[in-house]
Amino acid sequence: MLTERNHCTPPVAPAELAPAATRRERMRAAFAGIAQAVPPVSIRMDLWHRDAVSRGALPEELAGLSEDQIEDRLGFCRSARYRTRPYLAFPEGWVEQRDAGGERRIRYRLPGAVLEKVVITTDDQARAGMRGAIVKYPVGNAADCRALLDALEKATVAADFGGFAAFDREVGEAGLPLLILGSCPAHTLMLEWLGYEQFFYAMADYPELLAEVNGALARLFRRDLWAPALRTGAELILHGNHFADATTPPRLFRRYFLPYFQAFNAAAHAAGKKVLWHADAGMGALLDLVIEAGFDGADCLATAPLVPQTLEDYDRAWSGRIVCWGGLPSIVFDPEFPEAEFREHLRRLFAFTSGRSGFIVGASDNVMPGALWERIRAVGEMVGGGEEKGQ
Structural domains of the chain sorted by starting position, each given as residue range(s) with its CATH number in brackets: 14-89+156-389 (3.20.20.210), 91-154 (no CATH)
Strands of the sheet with 103-110, listed across from one edge: 95-100, 103-110, 113-120, 133-136
Q: Give the type of residue at 188.
A: T
Q: Is the dihedral of CA 328, 331, 334, 335 positive or negative?
A: negative
DSSP letter (8 states) at residue 154: G
Which of 29, 84, 375, 326 lies closest to 226 in space, CA to CA? 84
- The whole-model pTM stands at 0.92
Q: Provide Rg for the chain, Cα atoms.
A: 22
User: Tens digits of per-residue pLDDT, 326-378?
Assistant: 999 999 999 999 999 999 999 999 999 999 999 999 999 999 999 999 999 99
User: What is the four-CA torsion angle of 171, 176, 177, 181, rounded to 10 degrees?
Assistant: 170
Q: Is the CB of residue 224 less than 8 Å from the CB of residue 157?
A: yes
Distance CA(169)–CA(341), nearest Å, equals 39
The pLDDT tens digits of the residues spanning 225-267 come to 999 999 999 999 999 998 999 999 999 999 999 999 999 999 9
Dihedral sign (CA 215, 281, 161, 147): positive
Percent of the chain's residues with pLDDT above 90: 89
